[in-house]
Amino acid sequence: MSRPSKIVCIGLNYAKHAAEFGNPIPKEPLIFLKPPSSLVGPGEAIVIPKGVGQVDYEGEIGVRIGKRARHVTKERSWDFVDGLLAINDVTARDLQKADGQWSRAKGFDTFCPAGAVTPLAQVDRKALSVTTRVNGKVRQQMGADDMVFDIPAIIAHVSRIMTLEPGDLIATGTPSGVGPLSPGDVVEVEIGSVGSISNPVVAES
Ligand code: ZN
């Protein structure tokens, strides 16, 4: 996959995930960025840095932009998408809580595993779901109908703030059931009707 100009992420976009952290549901999509340097592909290791405390998986539906998008309406938003993919928004949870700002907690190298893109024409958009497994055990499982803001609403919102370029990725938020990763684990994010990504977890050497 060519490197995107940016990875836009949505926070607290599933009601049950907001509740598990005691947060209210946002009135508008809450956005943050992960750096392109955090990307890794299928089978590449997620490296847990030294001294960061707890590191969590966050399985998410990923969107790849196919056409430059600026001030896009919800109705036209899918025209600017070339496909969907599985993304793991790996997060250093203790740093996220300590910093308030999320760039450090979400921005380490290897903290954005991203799977192969399935062309939109091959995706059943009504069957989208997120399943995350750690060492084969299901930890997250939810349908996209539980999202607070759906994909068209997210694209419309983000494209009013920043121009989305071809290749840019959007991670659309994680359902409830987030939890920690440890060296030696294998974490898999599967997006229903799209595909999956699996990565081993290692400690920084
Ligand atoms: Zn996330």
Q: Provide the residue range defining the domain that includes 85.
A: 7-203
d(CA 92, CA 102) in angstroms, rounded, equals 9
pLDDT, position 19: 85
Measure CA of the first residue to CA of the last residue in the chain; give whole Å: 27
Question: How many domains is the chain partitioned into structurally?
Answer: 1
Map tokens 């419309």 to a residue: 156
Task: Quote the ligand 1 centre to 57 CA distance (angstroms).
Answer: 9
Give the burial class of 101: count Cβ atoms within 10 A of its Cβ; 0-12 exposed, 13-18 middle, 19 or more buried.
exposed
User: Does 2 map to a domain?
Assistant: no
Report the separation in Å between the CA atom of 38 and the middle of ligand 1, taken as the mean of its atom positions. 13
State the distance from the centre of ligand 1 to the C-alpha of 9, rounded, in angstroms: 6
> Is 170 inside any structural domain?
yes
Q: How far is the CA of 119 from the centre of ligand 1 (A)?
A: 23
Output the CA–CA distances (angstroms, integers) from residue 201 to 53, 55, 120, 182, 187, in the order listed.
15, 10, 30, 7, 8
Q: How far is the CA of 198 from the centre of ligand 1 (A)?
A: 17
- How many whole angstroms from 183 Cα to the centroid of ligand 1? 21
Entry field: residues in the chain = 205
> How far is the centre of ligand 1, averaged over its atoms, from the C-alpha of 120 (Å)?
22
Rounded Cα–Cα distance for residues 116 and 110 (Å) = 16
Q: Are strands 169-171 and 179-180 parallel, antiparallel or unpaired?
A: unpaired
Q: Is this model's pTM higher than 0.75 or not? A: yes
Question: 104 C-alpha to center of ligand 1: Å?
Answer: 14
- Measured in Å, residue 173 CA sits from the centre of ligand 1 at 5
Q: What is the pLDDT of residue 23?
A: 87
In a domain, 1, yes or no: no
- Residue 165 inside a domain? The answer is yes
- Residue pLDDT, tens place only, 122-160: 999 999 999 999 999 999 999 999 999 999 999 999 999
Q: What is the pLDDT of residue 1?
A: 55
Distance from Cα 8 to the centre of ligand 1, integer Å: 10
Evaluate whether residue 168 is within a structural domain.
Answer: yes
Closest CA to 6 of 171, 168, 185: 168
Would you say residue 136 lies in a domain? yes
Helix (H) or strand (E) holding 20: helix 15-20
Please give the distance, rounded to the nearest whole angstrom, from the Cα atom of residue 123 to the centre of ligand 1: 22
* pLDDT for res 18: 83
Mean pLDDT rounded to a whole number for the chain: 96
- 50 part of a folded domain: yes
Question: Within the chain, which residues score under 70 in pLDDT?
Answer: 1
Instruction: Give the bridge partners for 195, in sequence order.
Output: 191
Q: How far is the CA of 116 from the centre of ligand 1 (A)?
A: 19
Cα radius of gyration (the chain): 16
CATH at residue 198:
3.90.850.10
Please check whether residue 49 is in contact with residue 95, taking contact to mean a CB–CB distance below 8 angstroms.
no
Q: Phi/psi at 15 (nearest 5 deg)?
A: -55, -40
Residue 195 lies in a domain: yes
- Name the region of 190 (left: φ>0; alpha: ψ -120 to 50; beta: rest): beta
